[in-house]
């Protein structure tokens, strides 16, 4: 009997779904919230102010922004799952290093796979794939969520936060490419007649500071719509 009890305990350690998950169903209300919250009131960029650096760097054009979002999504989903699986085994003193090793390994893997099977995309993203390692959102979610929650929930949390990141990235890239280069996905949108009439592209939009200002405007709009996000002090 005693042996049996120990076994079930051990199984609990690496069980994919915690008790509450099983009762709730795969896309129950709480799980849906994990996906939808980061898109709105708990957005990693505009509310938690994480991952700003890459939001500045790769939002000059839409296409790299989208591919970068997908790469971040893959890395976040898998790193969240792996850390969550190991959460009861990781020694707490070296947990940050363990997280870094896992994230770095996944990023290198994504980079290698892209280079072999999606060569053009990997060239377009160049350095930024490597920089996913330093994206604060990834480490932030590992620390804040994956270390304390089940594997499936962590997976949803990873997808949700990456989607929140993607949403802002794509929005910023949309405005920067449209106003800075008059293009979307590399195709000219602003008609030639506008240029002839004196319209000119705003070159400033292509520089990093304007990404920050665009993010600032998005934060402004978001907080004026949802006043509970405004800090009281």
Partner 1 sequence: MDRNSNAYTFIFAVILVAVVASALAFAATQLQPAQAENVKNEKMQNILGTVGIEVSRDSAAVPFDKYIVERIALDSKGQEKTEVNAFEVDLKKELKKDVEEQSFPLYVANVEGAKYYIVPLRGKGLWDAIWGYIALKDDVNTIKGAVFDHKGETPGLGGEITQVWFKKRFDDEKVFDESGNFIGVSVAKGYQGGDNKDDNAVDAISGATITGDGVTDMISERLERYLPYFKNKTNVKVAAN
Closest listed residue to residue 161, CA positions, set 60, 16, 47: 47
Residue 185 in contact with partner 1, rule: CB under 8 A: no
In the chain, where does DSSP find H-type helix? 2-13, 19-24, 29-36, 52-57, 62-85, 95-117, 119-125, 127-130, 136-144, 151-181, 192-196, 208-225
* Count of residues near partner 1 by CB under 8 A: 33
Does residue 71 contact residue 125 with C-beta atoms inside 8 Å?
yes
Question: C-beta of 22: minimal distance to partner 1 in Å?
Answer: 26
Q: Candidates 34-42, 73-81, 108-116, 191-199: pick the segment binding partner 1 (CB under 8 A).
A: 108-116
Residue 125 in contact with partner 1, rule: CB under 8 A: yes
Among 10, 70, 115, 221, binds partner 1 (CB under 8 A): 115
Specify the DSSP element, H or E, that contains 184. Answer: strand 183-184
Helix (H, G, I), strand (E, B) or coil at 6: helix
Closest listed residue to residue 83, CA positions, set 133, 38, 148: 148
Residue 23 in contact with partner 1, rule: CB under 8 A: no
Among 39, 57, 190, 219, binds partner 1 (CB under 8 A): 57
Residue 117 in contact with partner 1, rule: CB under 8 A: yes
Among 61, 79, 80, 135, binds partner 1 (CB under 8 A): 61
Residues found near partner 1 in the complex (CB under 8 A): 57-58, 60-61, 64, 89-94, 97-98, 101-102, 105, 108-109, 112-113, 115-117, 119, 123-128, 203, 206-207
């Amino acid at each position: 009997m005693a042996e049996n009890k120990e076994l079930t305990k051990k199984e609990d350690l690496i069980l994919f779904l915690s008790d509450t998950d099983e009762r709730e169903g795969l896309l129950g209300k709480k799980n849906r919230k994990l996906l939808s919250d980061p898109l709105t009131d708990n957005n990693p960029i505009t509310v938690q102010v994480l991952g700003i650096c890459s939001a500045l760097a790769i939002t000059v054009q839409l296409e790299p922004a989208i591919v970068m979002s997908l790469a971040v999504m893959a890395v976040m989903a898998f790193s969240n799952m792996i850390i969550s699986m190991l959460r009861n085994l990781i020694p707490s003193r070296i947990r940050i290093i363990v997280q870094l090793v896992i994230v770095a390994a996944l990023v290198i893997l994504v980079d290698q796979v892209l280079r072999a099977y999606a060569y053009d995309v990997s060239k377009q993203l160049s350095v930024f794939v490597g920089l996913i390692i330093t994206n604060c959102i990834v480490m932030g979610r590992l620390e804040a969520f994956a270390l304390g929650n089940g594997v499936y929930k962590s997976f949803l949390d990873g997808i949700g936060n990456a989607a929140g990141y993607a949403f802002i990235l794509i929005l910023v890239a949309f405005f920067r490419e449209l106003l800075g280069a008059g293009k979307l996905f590399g195709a000219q949108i602003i008609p030639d007649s506008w240029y002839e009439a004196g319209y000119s592209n705003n070159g400033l939009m292509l520089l990093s500071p304007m990404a920050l200002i665009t993010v600032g405007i998005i934060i402004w709009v978001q907080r004026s719509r949802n006043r509970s996000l405004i800090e009281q002090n």
